[in-house]
Amino acid sequence: MNLRTRLPAVAAVAVAVLVPFALLSALVAGDWRPLHDADASVTAALHDWALRHPGWVDVTKVWTTVFDPNPLRLAALILTVWLWRRGSRGTAMWVITTMAAGGILGALLKLLIERHRPDLLDPVARAAGYSFPSGHALNAALTAGVFVLVLLPFVRRRWVLWTAGVAVAVLTGISRIILGVHWTSDVVAGWLLAVAVIAATTMAFTRRGLLPVLEKGVPQEKGVTRVTTG
């Protein structure tokens, strides 16, 4: 893929997600009643389901632990080291920049908006800190995004890679609502912010010619033959 010729499309994606994200943030900060009522309805329905399905709650807890922000950051760090050793240092810096920018923005927004988490009578899980946006949803989408974009040149059935990335992001976000530690709008905001950050950093690095790996793949190490699997 030629990223330079697709920069207008990438910019359009950034704008397309930033507008609803900004609107959602404003509604949450302003405590807009219809949004709060919608969030409360979804939370109540999923919490009732969780109380009736403790086995699935245990599975959800395992999932949300495996895809906690810290393991995801470690995975991104491993990807960064691999790219650096292969000589794709621009892309390695892009991965670090994307993960760091998203994480910092998410943390700042939590402190700025100070939204409290759902307060349930019989909680199945607990989490500390403010609620908006969801750190799990944000970091899952960021990590899935950087892995998908880096690995795309290596696969033939790209839909499999895209499906896996979307599944990780979506299921991780939903797991937080099922456990009752985030509102639905927190999770949606995390997804939107992640897409916006990925689009923004991709544009910035592509303009400087620092993302050839997304078009040509990762350079081979001497004496190593790359195998593309289907």
| pLDDT above 90 (res 102) | yes
* pLDDT average, residue stretch 97-102: 95
**Within a domain: 2:** no
Instruction: Identify the pLDDT of residue 230.
Output: 35
Evaluate if residue 217 carries a pLDDT over 60: no
Number of independent structural domains in the chain: 1
| Alpha carbon distances (Å) from 149 to 3, 71, 129, 219 | 11, 19, 31, 15
Q: How many of the other CB atoms lie within 10 Å of CB of 122?
A: 8
Q: How do residues 27-57 score in pLDDT, each as one tens digit? A: 999 989 999 999 999 999 999 999 999 999 9
Residue 224 lies in a domain: no
Give residue 16's domain range: 7-216
Which residues pair with residue 155 across a beta bridge?
229
Question: 19 lies in a domain?
Answer: yes
C-alpha–C-alpha distance, residues 132 and 169, integer Å = 17
Residue 219's pLDDT band (boundaries 50, 70, 90)? Answer: very low
